[in-house]
Amino acid sequence: MSTKQHRQPPFRAEHIGSLRRPEFLLEKRREVEAGKLSEQELIPYEDKAIKEIVQTQLDLGFPAVTDGEFRRISFWGMP
């Protein structure tokens, strides 16, 4: 498969919404749940994860990017 084929498929598709959270962020969320880390202390880890996923999407040439909803707390629990 060529790179061109992946970047210019015969259809239009965009990702909107949740992306899989990195393991380090899941671990920090578990620490918040356990009372070992505050919600405020979680923010820098969320910021780091968001910066990384946005940069990944930009590097891949996505015309639209998402923060992956990394700050959203799932109704069904983690992630």
* Cα→Cα distances 44→29, 39, 41, 52, 73, Å: 12, 10, 7, 12, 16
Task: Kindly report, residue by residue over 52-75, the tens digit of the pLDDT.
Answer: 999 999 998 888 889 999 998 765
Domain boundaries, the chain: 18-79
The mean per-residue pLDDT over the stretch 34-51 comes to 96
The pTM is what? 0.74
pLDDT at 64: 84
pLDDT at 8: 66
Task: Kindly report, residue by residue over 10-26, the tens digit of the pLDDT.
Answer: 766 666 778 899 999 99
